[in-house]
Amino acid sequence: MRPIDQLVLDENNVAFNPVVGNSYQVNDIAKEILIAIRHHKSKEDIINELTEKYDVSKEELFIDVSDFISKVKIYGLL
Amino acid sequence: MSKQTYLKPTINKVEFAMASKYGSPLKTQKIRSEIDGVKVSDLVEQYGSPLFVFSQTKIEELYHNLYNAFSSRYPDVQFGWSYKTNYLNEICKVFHNLGSIAEVVSEFEYQKARALGIEGKDIIFNGPYKPYKDLKIAVQEGAKIHVDNLFELNDLEKIADELGTKIKVAIRVNMDTGIYPQWSRFGFNFENEEAYEAVKRMYDGGKLELNGIHSHIGTFMLDANAYKMATIKIMQLKERVENDFGSIIDYIDLGGGFASKSHLKGVYQSPDVTIPTADDYAEAITNAIYEMNKSDKLPKLYLETGRALIDEAGYLLTSVHGYKRFPDGKKGYILNAGVNLLYTSTWYNFNIELDKRYDGENEPSMLNGPLCMNIDIIEENIMLPALDRGTILTLSPVGAYNYTQAMQFIRYRPAAVLIDKEGKSRVIKEIDDLDTVNYKEV
């Protein structure tokens, strides 16, 4: 199981990893991306879904989602 | 169906140690949306980015505050605007209109002052290197020459011969004022008698006449008491040379060095705590003159304050060009202004403000400039929310030295704007272009 799969996501936008005791503050879109990654969606799929939902260009999303995934990896969650 | 508002996705590990009774670094944002009532976004739209912005209102406030601190304690005070601190013509004019004469350290600055209509008699010519030709012009025009070394003294004697006249000069003196590091590069040393010997040499030559004593004890002086020490020693030398050589020392000049509210790197406390006030400096100097004066007449007091009169009146607007994630997790923003424009970033932590409040929590970030150089770092550690491309950051205080020392390196030097007392902005220096860079190349 990947650490990201162990995260408990609550309604206050806190992601808690009960195995190691770390907590992460996330925002709504970050939560959506975390859930999508847990569902094994590809980066491209995630970007396409968010482009449909939010008022943002695909180019900007590519940068932001790539950055977000980088940080998730740096935190050792993925 | 209309789309929802987008916010950049953020994830930040909760570090419980970061929260304290003083607040959370995850939430704090410094905002500056305007300068003297002019929106920073309008300034960038009208004049481009990066952009130096100067506030005339702030300059005048700083000037009056310092001048009043001295003039309320001492009857004869004259400020000389330190050209090297910021010699943009319009900035110099503001200071001259307020009553400052000019203080220059090179022939180039001397020429600048003359071109602005300042008479030679209203120019203090300091500095360790005064080319003969320019020194002679300054003498002919009646400038206040502050002798730095014996070679210059010889040059002045030769000029006196050539002109067939005696020249009035002041002498630059360095000394131990209890601060470290002691500045001993400029002028003649007080403690080891070098200064007295130089005066003696001057009178032995019979071609020069001493009428002033000058010192510049350092820069960003955090101890007002150092000026008291300097004043005491200058007044001791004054009394001695007046007694020994019958000279009349019309003036003493305590130079510059008063600190601005810049945040020195490595200093934990806020500048509001560490920086002496104008009154502190004024009291240290004027009390020492009163205590030490043995003559019937008080000497005129000159001050060459630069930094403390302009630093907080200067801002640099810079824009976010992009960002990347560094392997250590830090977010690295690429700005369009870097160390090429911010010479003082080596020593000072700037106040960095955002153009508006941004949603989301702060994360550890780094601000890098546009140069293709690894050292181009404006701020290595700063907590920032997710910023958009085009976000305008205001860096301050940058009024002192940054424009004059801005490098012509890789990028064109930006425009500079002055906001007058009516809140109207105008260009005082246009952005450089290829012609500027190529000028004089053959």
pLDDT-derived band of residue B184, with 50, 70 and 90 as boundaries? confident
- How far does the CA of residue A28 sit from the closest CA of chain B (Å)? 7
Q: In the prediction, which pLDDT does B360 show?
A: 82
Q: In the prediction, which pLDDT does B169 show?
A: 98
Q: In the prediction, which pLDDT does B19 show?
A: 61
Regarding predicted confidence, which is higher, A25 or B360? A25
Q: If DSSP codes are grouped into helix, strand and coil, which group holds residue B197? A: helix
Q: What is the pLDDT of residues B113-129, one digit of tens each?
A: 999 999 999 999 999 99
Q: Average per-residue pLDDT in chain B?
A: 94
Closest CA to B59 of B262, B314, B276, B263: B314
Distance CA B421, CA B283 (A): 30
- How far does the CA of residue B332 sit from the closest CA of chain A (Å)? 11
Lowest mean pLDDT among B9-18, B45-54, B220-229, B235-244: B9-18
Q: If DSSP codes are grouped into helix, strand and coil, which group holds residue B381? A: strand
Site from B2, B5, B13 to mutate, A interface, most A CB atoms within 10 angstroms: B13
Nearest CB to A27 within list B9, B328, B329: B9
Mean pLDDT, chain A cut into blocks of 10 residues (78 residues total)? 92 91 94 96 97 96 96 94
Residue B18 has pLDDT above 90, yes or no: no
DSSP B345: G
Q: What is the pLDDT of residues B400-439, one digit of tens each?
A: 999 999 888 899 999 999 999 999 999 999 999 999 999 9
Considering all CA atoms of chain B, what is the largest pairwise distance in Å, rounded to the nearest integer?
95
Cross-strand bridge partners of residue A24: A15, B13
Q: What is the pLDDT of residues B97-107, one digit of tens each?
A: 999 999 999 99
- Strand duo B167-174 + B144-147: pairing: parallel
pLDDT-derived band of residue B26, with 50, 70 and 90 as boundaries? confident
**C-alpha of B59 from chain center:** 12
Cβ partners under 8 Å of residue B252, min gap 6: B212, B213, B214, B231, B234, B235, B238, B289, B299, B300, B301, B302
Share of chain B above pLDDT 90, in %: 84
Q: In angstroms, how far is the first alpha carbon of chain A from the final one? A: 10
- How far does the CA of residue B149 sit from the closest CA of chain A (Å)? 60
Q: In the prediction, which pLDDT does A63 show?
A: 96
Residue B390 contacts A where some CB pair is shorter than 8 Å: no
Mean pLDDT of the B312-335 span: 96
Mean pLDDT of the B29-58 span: 98
What's the pTM? 0.93
Residue B108 has pLDDT above 80, yes or no: yes
Nearest CB to A26 within list B10, B322, B386: B10
Q: How far is CA A22 from CA A37, A43, B13, B146, B385, in A?
A: 19, 25, 7, 66, 21
Site from B4, B6, B330 to mutate, A interface, most A CB atoms within 10 angstroms: B6
Q: What is the pLDDT of residues B291-318, one digit of tens each?
A: 999 999 999 999 999 999 999 999 999 9
Q: In the prediction, which pLDDT does B247 show?
A: 87
Nearest CB to B3 within list A29, A53, A64: A53
- How far does the CA of residue B325 sit from the closest CA of chain A (Å)? 6
Q: What is the pLDDT of residues B222-249, one digit of tens each?
A: 899 999 999 999 999 999 999 999 989 9
Residue B21 has pLDDT above 70, yes or no: no
Mean pLDDT of the B124-141 span: 97
Residue B27 contacts A where some CB pair is shorter than 8 Å: no
Quick one: tokens of B21? 């009774």
Nearest CB to A54 within list B3, B12, B327: B3
pLDDT-derived band of residue B22, with 50, 70 and 90 as boundaries? low
Mean pLDDT of the B157-185 span: 93
Is the ipTM of this structure higher than 0.95? yes
Residue B1 contacts A where some CB pair is shorter than 8 Å: no
Nearest CB to B14 within list A24, A30, A52: A24
Domains of chain B: 18-54+312-438 (2.40.37.10), 126-305 (3.20.20.10)
Domain residue extents for chain A: 3-74
Quick one: tokens of B150? 């014996």
Mean pLDDT of the B183-200 span: 94
Q: In the prediction, which pLDDT does B183 show?
A: 84
Mean pLDDT of the B14-19 span: 69
